[in-house]
Structure 1
Amino acid sequence: MTATANLPLIDMAGVREGDPASIRRVGDAIRRACSETGFFYIINHGVPQAVIDHAMAAAKTFFAYPPQVKRQVAVNKRHRGWHALGGALMYEATKPDFKEFFSIGLELPEDDPCVLAGEALRGPNQWPDFMPQLRTALDDYYAAIGRAAADLLKGVAVGLGIDQDFFAPKYGKPLQRTQMVYYPPHPPMAETDQFGVAPHTDYGCVTLLYQDNSGGLQVRELASNRWIDATPIEGSLVVNVGDLLARWSNDRFRSTLHRVINTSGHERYSIATFYDPTYSAVVDPCDLGIDASASRYPAVAAGDYILKRIDDSMAYRKNAQ
């Protein structure tokens, strides 16, 4: 592990190759990063740059369409589709986020058992007829980033002192959500409480982010309580711990406040992936070696927890309620 741009940088090559010594080293590095900052970079993560470039090009094409066109795939009850500017209000924020995003999840047909059982957030994605190439670009990215996230969780498990394959059975049908995100240039006269994304912690287990070279992502450093830049590093992904993993680890791993302010003067693009367990997976600190008397959190179904957090922050869900 090396320190780069204020946050740790971890090389995943050995984990991808299945090398036991490398997995232990990465586990140690992840443990330090997740207990100290909750944020780090990974390189040699296995997502081909060509796949990333294709997805980023598709994002630029999609968001360039006018709102009346993108509205054809407006977000639905499954949290799939286009979220318009102003559609997300982070908890304790005073203004909606200054961003748009397009979200997909695990592609499941209407007759899938999970869909028929009524699991929230499940089902087919919304793909735009006006841009058929988007599906190929995002399907490829979704699959590649999912493999990278599964490798990452091996290091997370070792960092927590449990078997490297602990998380795998919890991800049979993951609640993986991948979002293309578009940030217009920050308004020059914006008030101080206007953000691209207001300060928040993520809801789930781990987030893997690809960001362009615009900058703007900032992390609240735990030791100093100051905001530091997560400077873009070529070929890297930014990883952070979400609240569900913090809960699962009994707060041994930290979920950290972060925000985006796009002061680059031009448009900013990123692709965020929230890699979370299958809906019914039980999240219980006791399963990670914590004694019941020391557990800070009761067991909860992963999907119920994530759904509640989405309901609390998305305007379209509040309006429906």
Structure 2
Amino acid sequence: MPQPAALDTLPIIDIAPFLNSDLGNAHNRSATAAALHSACIGYGFFYLDLRAFVDPAEPEELTRLAREFFALSQEDKDKISLKNQDHARGYARLKENVTNGKADNHEGIDFYKPVEHPDKTKPVWGENQWPTIPLFREKYEEWIEKMKKLGLIVMEAMSFGLGMTREEWQQLRSQVDDSFWVMRIIGYPPLPNDHDGYSCGAHRDYGCLTFLYADPTPSALQVFVKRPGVPNEDTSGLPAEQGLEEGIWINADPIPGCVVCNIGEMWETWTDGLYRSTLHRVVHRGSNYRVSIPFFFEPNFDALVEPLETISRMKEKGVAIPGASRKSVVYGDFLVGKVGNNFAAEGKGRY
């Protein structure tokens, strides 16, 4: 039987070379871009070292504020319930979110990019609901601005790795420069032994880039790494979620100074399948209350997402790209098609 390769941790990539325009930094930029390209093909997941971009105290303060909210009474948390708005923006109770037909053992608050002329009867078109905890909104809005900036930085670095021209990058940038971003603040109590499900069931993100900051809790976030010829030996004791795919689940434990980054389905379309969105889940069996803060950097709502010209050049050079060709999509239509029917009733899954 084939033995697993020594690929049990995700790569760590330092984004520092792309934080300034120093022309003498070209070699480091090229190395970073190549590392991103390799990680997107091999894993769809990687760590981003942000020590040159973010003070580690900032996300720690966000975690503290999140814990303060989740420690409130149920009555107080329900004051910003999803049902007050578009069933997208606001607070979801423990087990209110559903993945793969099973209740997820977490609670959370969801925020989306503010829109003009909000209308809570339309999917994702309501208004964000903020806790009244002092400094909560101010600190999180500062984080949102930094993550939006980080999204453009990482996208540019990926354009280098894909061999895009500067004109092609500017065209791609115009599709994400008004990102219809999403941010979640999630609280995970320990997973009960008798719970018929996961802390968060296995799923693939359907957008562009996810930047996940999580508290130091180990052995919670898991990523499925495909390894042909290696049968999965899932020891979670929970139902298998990867179907017949061969591979293993690995832990993506927090690393100080880093966020976990993964690509969503829009990158599958842009690269016509060269980059693939990867299954991941949360199984939190520890004794603590875990907090994570994923930020989803997405295309513009009206962005037309279609295979990039650089992919055509790769194919002409003989680069093998698996699977059928991807169809163009308007991101907003894709988003509403994915989740729109989940906003009509309370207690439906959204991720």
Secondary structure of the structure 2 residue equivalent to 1:290: helix
Look up the match of 2:103. 96
Q: Whole-Å Cα distance in 2 between the matches of residues 304 and 6 of structure 1?
A: 35
How far 1:132 moved relative to its partner? 4.3
Q: Does 1:217 pair with 2:226? A: no
Q: Whole-Å Cα distance in 2 between the matches of residues 206 and 23 of structure 1?
A: 19
Q: Does 1:121 pair with 2:124? A: yes
Q: Does 1:16 pair with 2:19? A: yes
Structure 1 residues 131, 157: CA separation in 2 closer, same or farther (over 3 Å shift)?
same
Deviations 1:123-178, CA, capped at 9 Å, x for gaps: 542123x4242211211111112212211111122222214544321123211111
Q: Whole-Å Cα distance in 1 between the matches of residues 7 and 66 of structure 2?
A: 28
Structure 1 contact 175–279 (Cα < 8 Å) conserved: yes
Look up the match of 2:346. 316
Look up the match of 1:240. 262
Q: Whole-Å Cα distance in 1 between the matches of residues 273 and 194 of structure 2?
A: 39
Letter of the 2:59 counterpart: I
Q: Whole-Å Cα distance in 1 between the matches of residues 213 and 336 of structure 2?
A: 24
For the aligned residue pairs, the C-alpha RMSD in angstroms reads 2.7
Q: Whole-Å Cα distance in 2 between the matches of residues 56 and 119 of structure 1?
A: 31
Q: Whole-Å Cα distance in 1 between the matches of residues 296 and 31 of structure 2?
A: 24
How far 1:242 moved relative to its partner? 0.8
Structure 1 residues 313, 231: CA separation in 2 closer, same or farther (over 3 Å shift)?
farther
Secondary structure of the structure 2 residue equivalent to 1:33: helix
How far 1:310 moved relative to its partner? 2.4
Structure 1 contact 39–240 (Cα < 8 Å) conserved: yes
Look up the match of 2:35. 29
Q: Does 1:178 pair with 2:183? A: yes
Letter of the 1:309 counterpart: K
Look up the match of 1:208. 211
Deviations 1:283-318, CA, capped at 9 Å, x for gaps: 011455438999712211111112222236676385
Secondary structure of the structure 2 residue equivalent to 1:209: strand
Secondary structure of the structure 2 residue equivalent to 1:264: coil
Between the aligned residues of both structures, percent identity stands at 27
Look up the match of 2:294. 272
Structure 1 contact 106–173 (Cα < 8 Å) conserved: no
Q: How many residues align?
A: 307
Q: Whole-Å Cα distance in 2 between the matches of residues 155 and 233 of structure 1?
A: 22
How far 1:27 moved relative to its partner? 1.4
Secondary structure of the structure 2 residue equivalent to 1:42: strand
Q: Does 1:68 pair with 2:72? A: no
Q: Whole-Å Cα distance in 2 between the matches of residues 312 and 228 of structure 1?
A: 32
Structure 1 residues 221, 271: CA separation in 2 closer, same or farther (over 3 Å shift)?
same
TM-score normalised to structure 1 length: 0.87
Letter of the 1:255 counterpart: S
Deviations 1:214-262, CA, capped at 9 Å, x for gaps: 1200110122511011121111000011112112211111111111001
Letter of the 1:204 counterpart: G
Which structure 1 segments of 5+ residues have no match? none
